[in-house]
């Protein structure tokens, strides 16, 4: 165990025998690699809310495994009673993080498996839920690798890449989204120079992105968020790659707070910004970023979480939104597993989803 690299661990895993959702507690990284086993709905809800598991794709996978395990424990023998309890558990898990669309996407997909199987015995429905949850994880790995291939086509060997927050392996099942081009490039000798924003207030860039890239041998330099414009001005950045938690139909994207500032600076210095987003993150029912609900988190994350002593005066007001919305006009492309969407995004998304449907037809 001592010789294991952080990249050797599964971000989200199912232990069916022990009825446990197994995750790395990301709030303890990089100081300690602690694997935790979640068995109750409360434990799963807390893990998602407290960011023990985080990153849109990883949250989706965790939710799929979680709702399967909770469904497995439902004692009801008839469909109506089973579905009623399933629905309660699903809605409870769905309330843990409102901005990350992959949470509701995965849970809705699992619910559809239940409603499509209402004529089947409850035990068979449970088996189908297990199969669907595993499929969601396997798809996540394929999606991330494909996003990496498309993203890699946008840069060249030796480029400087800036990223914000963590859209790496720790945010997905493997490869990450925004880091997938970096990992694939590393495998192929591209030797990128990566700048990782620290990402206040929860420091996902410092604790997670810098940690996993360094562990993988990537040339990574950690910077504070307010240094991004300086490294851009110095000519050290050729492209910005970030992930996101929700994409609106017009191409506005919600990502970790500070992403919008990065995009504004990049626009000023004529550096392209690419959002790496699985199609499951694109919400065509949300017209613009103005309609995306932004979660506000506890004040303690800013005033005292990372300090030995409180660093802000008692009683000061704190505004702590978890995300901001980057305007579609600042985005050069949205990299999905079915191609790169460009402006006008709504039209581009229609083409992307048409390709997705075509691919589904071929698989069938």
pLDDT one-digit tens code per residue, 37-57: 999 999 999 999 999 999 999
Distance from C-alpha of 97 to C-alpha of 2, rounded to nearest angstrom: 34
Asked if residue 150 belongs to a domain, the reply is no
**Residues acting as catalytic residues:** 245
Report if residue 86 sits inside a domain.
yes
Write the CA distances from 164 to 53, 84, 248, 333, integer angstroms.
Answer: 18, 41, 20, 16
* Statement to judge: residues 226 and 112 lie in one domain: no
Evaluate whether residue 1 is within a structural domain.
no
Say if residue 204 carries a ligand binding annotation.
Answer: yes
Same domain, 161 and 134: no
Asked whether residue 211 carries a pLDDT value surpassing 50, the answer given is: yes
Is 308 marked as binding a ligand?
no
* Average model confidence (pLDDT) across the chain: 96
User: Do 112 and 175 reside in the same domain of the chain?
Assistant: no
Contact (CB, 8 A) for 228 and 197 = yes
* Residue 26 assigned as binding residue: no
Residue 52 lies in a domain: yes
Report how far apart, in Å, the C-alpha atoms of 27 and of each of 90, 177, 254, 335 are.
Answer: 24, 20, 22, 28
Amino acid 100: pLDDT: 76
Q: Is residue 176 within 8 Å of 143, Cβ to Cβ? A: no
pLDDT in the model for residue 206: 97
Which pair of structure tokens corresponds to residue 264? 């504004």
CB 29 within 8 A of CB 19: no
CATH number of the domain where residue 107 is located: 1.20.120.420
188-226: burial string, b at 16+ Cβ within 10 Å, e else: eebebbbbbbbbbbbbbbbbbbbbbbbebebebebbebe
Question: 256 among the known binding-site residues?
Answer: yes
Does 211 share its domain with 320? yes
Given a cut of 90, whether residue 132 has pLDDT beyond it is yes
Same domain, 342 and 300: yes
- Tell me the pTM: 0.91
Q: Give CA–CA dist 364/358, Å, rounded.
A: 10
Verify that 221 and 274 share a domain, yes or no: yes
Domain boundary among 86, 110, 142: 142
pLDDT in tens, 65-123: 999 999 999 999 899 999 999 999 999 999 999 887 899 999 999 999 999 999 999 99
pLDDT at 1 over 50: no
Q: Is residue 364 very low, low, confident or very high in pLDDT (cuts 50, 70, 90)? A: low
Contacts of 364 (CB under 8 A, 6+ apart): none
Is 163 in the same domain as 89?
no
Q: What is the mean pLDDT of residues 346-361?
A: 94
Same domain, 298 and 356: yes
When divided into structural domains, the chain yields a total of: 2
Domain termination site, one of 110, 142, 174: 142
Q: With beta carbons less than 8 A apart as the criterion, state whether 251 and 343 touch.
A: yes
Q: Is 188 annotated as a binding residue?
A: no
Q: Which of 119, 142, 165 is the last residue of a domain?
A: 142
| Domain housing 335 | 155-362
């Amino acid at each position: 165990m001592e010789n294991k690299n952080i990249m050797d661990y599964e971000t989200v895993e199912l232990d069916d025998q022990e009825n446990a959702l197994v995750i790395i507690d990301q709030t303890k990284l990089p100081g300690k690699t602690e694997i935790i086993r979640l068995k109750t709905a409360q434990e799963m809800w807390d893990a998602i809310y407290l960011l023990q598991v985080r990153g849109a794709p990883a949250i989706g996978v965790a939710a799929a495994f979680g709702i399967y395990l909770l469904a497995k424990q439902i004692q009801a023998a008839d469909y109506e009673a089973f579905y009623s309890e399933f629905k309660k558990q699903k809605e409870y898990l769905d309330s843990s993080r409102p901005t990350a669309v992959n949470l509701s996407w995965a849970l809705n997909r699992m619910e559809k498996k239940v409603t499509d199987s209402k004529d089947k015995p409850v035990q068979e429905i449970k088996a189908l839920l297990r199969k669907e949850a595993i499929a969601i994880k396997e798809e996540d790995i394929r999606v991330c690798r494909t996003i990496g291939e498309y993203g890699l086509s946008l840069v060249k060997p030796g480029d400087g890449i800036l990223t914000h927050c963590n859209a790496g392996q720790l945010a997905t099942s493997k490869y990450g989204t925004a880091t997938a081009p970096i990992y694939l490039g590393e495998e192929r000798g591209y030797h990128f120079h990566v700048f990782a924003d620290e990402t206040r207030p929860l420091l996902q860039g410092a604790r997670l992105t810098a940690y996993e890239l360094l562990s993988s041998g990537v040339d990574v330099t950690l910077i504070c968020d307010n240094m991004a414009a300086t490294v851009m001005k110095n000519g050290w950045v050729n492209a910005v790659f970030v992930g996101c938690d929700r994409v609106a139909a017009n191409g506005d994207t919600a990502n970790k707070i500070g992403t919008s500032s990065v995009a504004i600076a990049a626009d000023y210095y004529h550096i392209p910004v690419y959002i790496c987003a699985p199609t499951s993150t694109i919400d065509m029912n949300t017209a613009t970023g103005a309609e995306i609900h932004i979660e506000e988190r506890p004040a303690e994350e800013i005033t005292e979480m990372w300090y030995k002593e409180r660093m802000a005066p008692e009683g000061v007001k704190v505004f702590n939104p978890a995300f901001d919305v980057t305007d579609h006009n600042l985005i050069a492309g949205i990299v999905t597993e079915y191609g790169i969407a460009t402006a006008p995004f709504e039209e581009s998304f229609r083409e992307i989803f048409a390709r997705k449907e075509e691919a589904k037809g071929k698989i069938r």
